[in-house]
């Protein structure tokens, strides 16, 4: 992605990628320390973009990751003053916080679906049901006003428009844990119920995951297809985006558009959930929104 971005946005090149996770290595704390060790901040200033790899925004994913980034920003950079961090010598941050209907994302997903549909015999192809599967959320989070369900639905609708609305489809949800109510219908239950009704040609599509991991390789492939569908040959999974050239170009295009915009974050990011009571969330949003004045000054 950064190689493409160097070519399309030479005025901001060179671009260097860093990866940060909340619960796996490299942790956000360690990545932030590496940024400082590489010469960002610490009196030198610098420009960095927090580019979420979750296409659809949720307080549980992008939101919590940005809160974590803000936490380590306050601990590792600048001086505290009345609860704020002084900007002198600090990294100037901006955020790409969501991209659920970006044309490149939509095209990459649609091409993978078309490739997999072509594996079905022609006489069965039109009756394959597309099951777009995304990580579920507790209903307590949904009822708080989290935008994730609407943004996942926006991705699904955009992909189906690109496909010409030729297939029957449903948006379903996976990875529920614990006894509390979660957003449904669940992917596993959906597959089992459709099979009981005689619908045995189904295509599972990871729509909120951009790369393979336990929720695709194990939960969808092993549990849903291998167990719930009993390995029926009509139930298959679309390949994750992974290193799709169309997808990688989309990432570079998103980054370039963001850099060209000069914006610290989207308008949508500044709006809290109606029932949000998290002080950390408020402080994080205020911080990233407040970076606009430093970006404007450096322009």
Q: What is the pLDDT of residues 250-266, one digit of tens each?
A: 999 999 999 999 999 99
**Mind spelling out the 3-state secondary structure of 88-122?**
CCCCEEEEECCCCCCHHHHHHHHHHHHHHHCCCCH
Catalytic residue among 102, 135, 201, 258: 102
2-100+245-298 shares its CATH topology with 103-237: yes
Average pLDDT over residues 265-272: 95
Q: What single-letter DSSP state applies at residue 262?
A: T
Q: Is the peptide bond before 54 cis (omega within 30 degrees of 0)?
A: no
Which CATH number applies to 103-237? 3.40.50.1400
All structural domains of the chain with their residue ranges: 2-100+245-298, 103-237
In the block, which residue shows the tokens 């209903």? 139
Catalytic residue among 97, 201, 228, 253: 253
pTM (predicted TM-score): 0.93
Average pLDDT over residues 274-283: 94
Average pLDDT taken over every residue of the chain? 93
Verify whether residue 258 is a known catalytic residue. Answer: no
Contact 232/200 with Cβ under 8 angstroms?
yes
Q: pLDDT tens-digit profile of 113-140?
A: 999 999 999 999 999 999 999 999 999 9
Average pLDDT over residues 85-102: 84
Instruction: Determine the 3-state secondary structure of 138 from DSSP.
Output: strand
Average pLDDT over residues 151-165: 98
Structure tokens at 239: 């390949």
CA terminus-to-terminus distance, the chain: 24
Residue 127: half-sphere exposure toward Cβ, Cα within 13 Å: 10
pLDDT at residue 135, rounded to an integer: 96
Q: Dihedral, CA atoms, 254, 98, 270, 72, nearest 10 degrees?
A: -90
Residue 247: its H or E element: helix 245-261
Residues 6+ apart with CB under 8 A from 266: 95, 97, 98
Residue 47: its H or E element: strand 47-51
Topology of domain 2-100+245-298, CATH: Rossmann fold (3.40.50)
Contact 240/216 with Cβ under 8 angstroms?
yes
Q: pLDDT tens-digit profile of 48-82?
A: 999 999 999 999 999 999 999 999 998 888 554 45
d(CA 253, CA 103): 10
Contact 250/82 with Cβ under 8 angstroms?
no
Confidence of residue 46 (pLDDT cuts 50, 70, 90): confident
pLDDT at residue 178, rounded to an integer: 86
Verify whether residue 135 is a known catalytic residue. Answer: no
């Amino acid at each position: 992605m950064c190689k493409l971005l160097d070519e399309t946005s030479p005025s901001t090149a060179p671009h260097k990628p860093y990866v940060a996770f909340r619960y796996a290595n490299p942790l956000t704390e360690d990545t932030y320390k590496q940024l400082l060790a590489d010469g960002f901040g610490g009196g030198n200033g610098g420009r960095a973009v927090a580019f979420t790899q979750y296409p659809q925004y949720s307080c549980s994913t992008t939101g919590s990751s940005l809160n974590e980034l803000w936490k380590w920003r306050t601990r590792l950079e600048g001086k505290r003053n009345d609860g704020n961090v002084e900007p002198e010598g600090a990294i100037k941050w901006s955020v790409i916080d969501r991209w659920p209907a970006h044309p490149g994302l939509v095209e990459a997903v649609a091409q993978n679906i078309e490739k997999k549909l072509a594996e079905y015999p022609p006489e069965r192809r039109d009756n394959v049901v597309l099951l777009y599967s995304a990580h579920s959320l507790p209903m307590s989070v949904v009822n708080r006003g989290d935008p994730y369900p609407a943004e996942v639905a926006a991705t699904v609708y955009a992909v189906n428009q690109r496909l010409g609305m030729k297939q029957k489809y449903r948006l379903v949800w996976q990875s529920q844990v614990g006894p509390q109510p979660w957003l449904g219908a669940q992917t596993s239950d959906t597959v089992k119920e459709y099979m009981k009704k005689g619908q045995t040609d189904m295509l599972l599509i990871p729509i909120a995951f951009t790369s393979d991991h336990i929720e695709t390789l194990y939960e969808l492939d092993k549990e849903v297809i291998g167990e719930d569908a009993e390995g029926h040959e009509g139930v298959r999974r679309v390949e994750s985006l992974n290193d799709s050239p169309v997808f990688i170009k989309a990432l570079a295009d998103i980054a370039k558009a963001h850099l060209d915009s000069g914006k610290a974050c989207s308008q949508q990011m500044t709006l809290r959930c109606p029932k949000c009571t998290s002080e950390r969330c408020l402080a994080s949003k205020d911080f990233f929104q407040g970076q606009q004045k430093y970006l404007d000054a450096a322009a």
